[in-house]
Amino acid sequence: MKDKIKYGMVGGGPGAFIGEVHRKAAALDGHLELVAGSFSSSAEKSKQMGEELGLDPRRVYSSFEEMAKKEAALPEDERIDMVSVVTPNHLHFPICKAFIEQGIHVVCDKPMTNTIEEAEELCRLVEKHEVLFALTHNYTGYPMVKEARHLVQSGKLGSLRKVVVEYPQGWLAEPVEEQGNKQAEWRTDPQKAGVSAAIADIGTHAENLVEYITGLQIEKLFADTTSFVEGRALEDDANMLVHYEGGVRGILYASQVSVGEENPLNIRVYGTEASLEWNQESPNYLRVKYPDKPEEIHKRGNLYLSDAAGFNTRIPPGHPEGFLEAFANIYKNVALTLQAKKNCKEPDKLATDFPTVQDGLTGVKFIHKAIESGKENHWVEMD
Binding to its own copies in span 163-202, by CB under 8 A = 164, 166, 168-170, 173-174
Name beta bridge partners: 222. Answer: 241
Closer residue to its own copies, CB minimum distance, 257 or 371: 257
Per CB under 8 A, does 28 bind its own copies? yes
- Told to check if 298 binds its own copies by CB under 8 A, we report yes
The residues in 252-281 that bind its own copies, with binding defined as CB under 8 A, are 253, 255, 257-264, 268, 270-275, 280-281
What is the smallest separation between the CB atom of 80 and its own copies, expressed in angstroms? 17
78 binds its own copies (CB under 8 A): no
Q: In the set 70, 150, 156, 161, which binds its own copies (CB under 8 A)?
A: 161
Give the side-chain half-sphere CA count within 13 A for 348: 13
11 strand-pairing partners: 86
5 versus 364: smaller Cβ distance to its own copies: 5
Q: In 3D, which of 69, 23, 63 has the Cα closest to residue 39?
A: 63
Residue from 230, 292, 344, 345 binding its own copies (CB under 8 A): 292
Question: How many residues form the binding site for its own copies (CB under 8 A)?
Answer: 90
Closest CB to its own copies among residues 120, 261:
261
Q: What string marks each residue from 38 to 57 as x (binds its own copies by CB under 8 A) or -?
A: -------------xxxxx--
Residues of this chain, 92-121, that bind its own copies according to CB under 8 A: none
Region from 1-9, 208-216, 333-341, 363-371 binding its own copies, contact rule CB under 8 A: 1-9
For its own copies, the binding residue among 299, 340, 341, 350 (CB under 8 A) is 299
Q: Which amino acid, one-letter code, is at 294?
A: P
Please state the closest distance from residue 162 (CB atom) to its own copies, in A. Answer: 6
Q: At what angle do helices 357-376 and 204-214 cross, to 10 degrees?
A: 120
Q: Which stretch binds its own copies (CB under 8 A): 77-85, 90-98, 247-255, 350-358?
A: 247-255
Q: Please identify, using beta-carbon distances, which residue of 73 and 303 lies nearer to its own copies.
A: 303
Give the nearer residue to its own copies in terms of CB position, either 103 or 322.
Answer: 322
Buried b (16+ CB within 10 A) or exposed e, 342-381: eeeeebeebbebbbbbebbbbbbbbbbbbbebbeeeeebe
Q: Which of residues 326-365 bind its own copies (CB under 8 A)?
A: none
Contacts of residue 178, Cβ cutoff 8 Å, sequence gap at least 6: 231
By CB under 8 A, residue 156 contacts its own copies:
no
- Report, in Å, the least distance between residue 66 CB and its own copies: 22
Q: Is 309 in the site for its own copies (CB under 8 A)?
A: no
Distance CA 299, CA 381 (A): 38
Q: Is 239 a residue that touches its own copies (CB under 8 A)?
A: yes
Per rule CB under 8 A, is residue 230 in the interface with its own copies?
Answer: no
Q: How many CA atoms lie within 13 A of 249 on its CB side?
A: 1
User: In the set 15, 103, 155, 318, which binds its own copies (CB under 8 A)?
Assistant: 318
For every residue of 67-134, DSSP letters joined together read HHHHHHHS-TTTS-SEEEEES-GGGHHHHHHHHHTTT-EEEEPSS--SSHHHHHHHHHHHHHHT--EE
Specify the stretch interacting with its own copies by CB under 8 A; choose among 75-83, 99-107, 195-203, 314-322: 314-322
Count CB atoms within 10 A of the CB of residue 103.
11
Q: Which of 127, 322, 376, 381 binds its own copies (CB under 8 A)?
A: 322
231-256 burial string, b = 16+ CB within 10 Å, else e? ebebbbbbbbbbbbeeebebebbbbb
Asked if residue 366 lies in contact with residue 218, where contact means CB atoms within 8 angstroms, the answer is yes
215 near its own copies, rule: CB under 8 A: no
Identity of residue 134: A
Q: Which uninterrupted H or E stretch holds 211?
A: helix 204-214
88 vs 283, beta carbon nearer its own copies = 283
